[in-house]
Chains A and B, each alone.
Chain A
Amino acid sequence: MKFGVMKPHRRQRLVVILFLLITVGGGVTFMLIALNENINLFYSTEQILSGAAPKNKPIKAGGMVLEGSVERSPQNLEVRFLISDMQGHSVPIIYTGILPDLFREGQGVVTEGMLEDSGNFRASRVLAKHDENYMPPEIADMLEEKHVQNKSWSEIP
């Protein structure tokens, strides 16, 4: 095809269409790649204990913080606690940093991080509920409760 002898408006239209195709095609491809690399799947404590959750990959885990399980290091900001589905499946969480304002024993949290070979879950982020009546939907589903009220959501990674 001789690009040079095309009528100006045709040529222009061709340029526009090519540009459009490249931008949109490139954009979509790029988006899908990025999306596949960056989704975090949620796993219940039962799935984690049974080995259904992948190790050393970023995932989310959630449950209720077991009463009396929170231990702090006297030197730094490391915290360890157990999260449970209240049916006997509990997973140890290790987190270094500042916990969210509403992190409390006996309440639901969602953590993001990686499951280590040792079976500990090293969290990079802990999310806690921001309201007495609120339960993160993942945990609510996990505990198979029907009544969920959602108000707001606080996080401090």
Chain B
Amino acid sequence: MIPELGNFSLMLALALSLGLTIFPALGVRSKNMVFMRTGSSLALGVFLFMLVSFFCLLYAFVNDDFTVTYVANNSNTALPLPYKISAIWGAHEGSFLLWTLIMSGWTLAVAVFNRSLTTDITARVLAVLGGLNVGFLAFLLFASNPFERSLPFHPQDGADLNPLLQDFGLIVHPPMLYMGYVGFAVPFALAIATLTAGRLDSAWARWSRPWTNAAWAFLTIGITLGSWWAYYELGWGGWWFWDAVENASFMPWLVGTALVHSLAASEKRGVFKSWTVLLAIAAFSLSLLGAFLVRSGVLTSVHAFAVDPLRGVFILVFLILVVGGSLFLYAFRGGLSKNRANFSWQSREAFILSNNLLLVVSAAAILIGTLYPLFYEVVSGGAKISVGPPYFNAVFVPLMGVLFLFMIFSPFSKWGDTNLRLVLSENKWWILSVIIGVVITSFFLGDNVFFKGLLLKFLAALILFFLFKNLLQRKTKLSASYTGMFLAHSGIAVAILGVVVTTYYSEGKDVRMEPGDKLDLSGYQFEFFGVEKVRGPNYLADQGEILITRDGKKVAILRPEKRFYPVAQDVMTEAAMHVTPFRDLYIALGEPVGEKAWAVRVNVKPFVRWIWFGGLLIALGSFITLFDGRYRAIKEKKARLFSAEVAT
């Protein structure tokens, strides 16, 4: 009964979303306030029914209802409870249910926090969001329904969740990522609303900013968690793979980063408004493209879900409608904002412009690299190629280098014009000493790759230096916006340091080890004691034991595992790590290569944690900007106006 209830809720949510698309829009057309205001209650309805539906699937998972095909394919009675819950979004259908639930959540949030918008703009925004809800719900119901039953011949037990996904990472990574992806629907909807209304003003940018920053912060967390998860779960200590699906999440992030900055310029100075609208459209379109790439199976990747041509076609049609429709609208209305911009090439506007260009070009480069194999296959009549990490590194890293160079001056840059020469001459000795400091520390780290990455280290150190100098020189009280900028930019610098150090100073070896064998690496000694069998809740494992010592003193005993999941008939590598802020010791078991010998992968990865710590700092900074007084002041003023109205 419960799965049917879930299915029925989806249908009701679809019906209400249709209403949400139609009624507020009708209200705008006929200038009917009552119709325009239906948006909020309809949005609430959609969200509630989505929630009911989500809990129905949760119920089916927790109670091992294997008559539901999706549960049977992705769960098992022996699966631990937290994974039964997260298995909801462990495969295609359920993850799209989560996606749609989050979409309806953002829609409701817009329906609630819209006081600084005029009624007709709110109605337009909600109608656009309603339309997106309709698309996603139709896809859920007609192409990927998680509530389908396999009656009457249902399996006695489930096929188990893919062992790769039986991990804490699955619990947190997809929800955060989807919050980000889908969150970009809000600035998108607002862009469409203002385009149709023909009112591209600063109020629009001001209202878009907190929503964009929130979505972007979630996406940042999602990507950071994904990188961390891949690092420990895929068993070889890489933290970024330029995998097609990683790229799919990274492109909206890059364009979103550009959007966050250009919105600032649009709000404060009224410049780049058309461009900002285009970015808002692009960020959400790239999110949808990501969904298409992951779910259509056109690209092979770690993340790819099951292939089903119908799904691919459905999302492709939806994608073309949304992207094509919004670009068409943009072509007609985008030129509406004519503004006289007055800024010099040293101004903050110019810095933001260069930031935008570099970010968009790098997103385009990644897009081309990701889709090139598809084009190539079509053009060449079926020849298969792949574009590997060398391409992405060669293109992306130099572009980011230039971006970081501009970033150094961001805290000192001023709207309109900056006296860059003055900033440079005031700080020349400081800059010199920061550079010398980096050279000296690199020297004492005793590396043989002295010059590699040195430039990036200079950049990161200078970014941090100017941020802190600016912070100490500030006399006024720190605003939330400034604090957020400070944290996010520091996060970038911290992440750069992490990336550079871990890339150039990591040491790793794949070796054949028998019990008693020792390996020296980066000043640590690793002694292999052998492997024994252990039993987990739903797996059997070979567990290795390795003693790590440094200068004769014990550092840790690590127990990496090779797990076998009998239900899924799958083998999984479970790496073991010893973590400090400054280095990870990372050990993974390969396969048995002799009587008692095993292939063992040993990695020493300095500063690798800094990458993710940087990512979290960026997200934290972005969240803090939401508390800026500017946004609250408007709300309170409006609230006062509202209560005054009620009082009279």
Which positions in A face B, CB cutoff 8 Å?
8-9, 12, 15-16, 19-20, 23-24, 27, 30-31, 34-35, 37-42, 60, 72, 74-77, 96-99, 101-102, 112, 130, 132, 136-138, 141, 148-157
**Given A15-B345, A38-B387, A39-B387, residue A31 in contact with residue B307 (CB < 8 A):** no
* A-B pairs with beta carbons under 8 Å apart, 17 shown: A12-B345, A19-B354, A27-B364, A30-B394, A31-B365, A35-B391, A39-B391, A41-B384, A72-B594, A130-B164, A130-B570, A149-B307, A150-B297, A153-B302, A154-B234, A154-B302, A156-B235
Contacting residues of chain B (376-418) with chain A, CB-CB under 8 angstroms: 376, 382-388, 390-391, 394-395, 398-399
* A27 in contact with B372 (CB, 8 Å): no
Can you add 10 more A-B contacts, CB < 8 Å, to A20-B357, A130-B164, A141-B384?
A: A16-B353, A30-B395, A31-B365, A40-B387, A77-B511, A101-B571, A102-B571, A130-B570, A151-B304, A152-B304
B361 touches A38 (CB 8 A): no
* B591, A99: Cβ atoms closer than 8 Å: yes
Which residues of chain B have a CB within 8 Å of any CB of chain A? 162, 164, 234-236, 297, 300-307, 340-345, 353-354, 357-358, 361, 364-365, 368-369, 372, 376, 382-388, 390-391, 394-395, 398-399, 510-512, 562, 569-573, 588, 590-591, 593-594, 599, 601
Contact residue among A12, A132, A157 (Cβ-Cβ distance under 8 Å from B341): A12
Give the nearest-CB partner of B344 in chain A: A12
Q: Is the CB of B391 within 8 A of A34?
A: yes
A35 touching B387 by the CB < 8 A rule? yes
Write out the residue numbers on chain A whose beta carbons fall within 8 Å of the beta carbon of B569.
132
Q: Which 3 A-B pairs have the closest CB atoms?
A: A98-B590, A38-B391, A42-B384
The smallest beta-carbon distance between B372 and chain A, in angstroms, is 6
- Of B365, B376, B590, the residue contacting A27 (CB under 8 A) is B365
Question: How far is A41 from B387 in the complex, measured between Cα atoms in Å?
Answer: 9
Give the docked Cα–Cα distance between A143 and B354 (Å).
50
Q: How many A-B residue pairs have CB under 8 A?
A: 143
- B599 x A77 contact (CB < 8 A): yes
Contact at A156–B357, with CB atoms within 8 Å? no
Q: Which residues of A contact B304 (CB under 8 A)?
A: 150-153
- Pair B385/A42 contact, Cβ less than 8 Å: yes
CB distance A152 to B302 under 8 Å?
yes
Q: Report the Cα distance A77→B573, complex, angstroms.
A: 17
Residues of A within 8 A of B162 (CB): 151-152
Would you call the interface of chain B mostly helix, strand, loop, or mixed? mixed
Q: How far is the CA of A97 from the CA of B236 in the complex (A)?
A: 11
Knowing A8-B342, A98-B591, A102-B571, say if A152 contacts B164 (CB, 8 Å).
yes
- If over half of A's interface residues share one DSSP class (helix, strand or loop), that class is named, otherwise mixed; here it is mixed
Q: In the complex, A129 Cα to B305 Cα: how many Å?
A: 14
Residues of chain A within 8 A (CB-CB) of B305 are 151
In the bound complex, CA of A19 to CA of B344 (Å): 13
B562 CB, nearest partner CB in chain A, Å: 8
Q: Are B300 and A150 in contact (CB under 8 A)?
A: yes
B601: A residues at CB distance < 8 A: 98
Q: How far is the CA of A37 from the CA of B343 in the complex (A)?
A: 40
Q: Which of A40, A101, A148, A149 has the most CB of B within 10 A?
A: A101
Query: What is the CA–CA distance of A152 and B384 in the complex, to the nearest angstrom?
Result: 19
Beta-carbon contact of B234 and A156 below 8 Å: yes
Distance in angstroms between the alpha carbons of A154 and B383 in the assembled complex? 23
- A63 CB, nearest partner CB in chain B, Å: 13
Chain B residues with CB under 8 Å of A149's CB are: 306-307
Q: Report the separation of the CA atoms of residues A41 and B303 in the bound assembly, to the nearest whole angstrom.
A: 22
Q: Is the CB of A23 within 8 A of B358?
A: yes
- CB-nearest residue of chain A to B573: A101
A136 touches B300 (CB 8 A): yes
Q: Of all chain B residues, which has the CB nearest A40?
A: B386
Known pairs A35-B368, A39-B376; A137 contacts B164 (CB<8 A) = no
B361 contacts across to A, CB distance below 8 A: 23-24, 27
Asked if A40 meets B385 with Cβ closer than 8 Å, knowing A12-B344, A27-B365, A101-B235, the reply is: yes
Contact A98 B301 (CB under 8 A): no
Determine the chain B residues whose CB is within 8 A of the CB of A112 once the complex forms. Answer: 388
From residue A39, how far is it (CB to closest CB) to chain B in Å? Answer: 5
A76 to B361, CA, bound (A): 45
Contacts of B376 in A (CB 8 A): 39
Chain A residue nearest to B343 (CB atoms) is A12
Question: Complex Cα distance A20/B593, Å?
Answer: 56
User: Quick one: given A19-B357, A155-B302, are A39 and B164 in contact (CB under 8 Å)?
Assistant: no
B386→A157 contact, CB < 8 A: no
Question: Of the candidates B303, B394, B573, which one forms a contact with A152 in the assembled complex, judged by CB atoms under 8 Å apart?
Answer: B303
Chain B residues within 8 Å of A27, by CB: 361, 364-365, 395, 399
Within the assembled complex, what's the spacing in Å between the Cα atoms of A24 and B361? 7
How far, in Å, is B540 (CB) from chain A's closest CB? 14
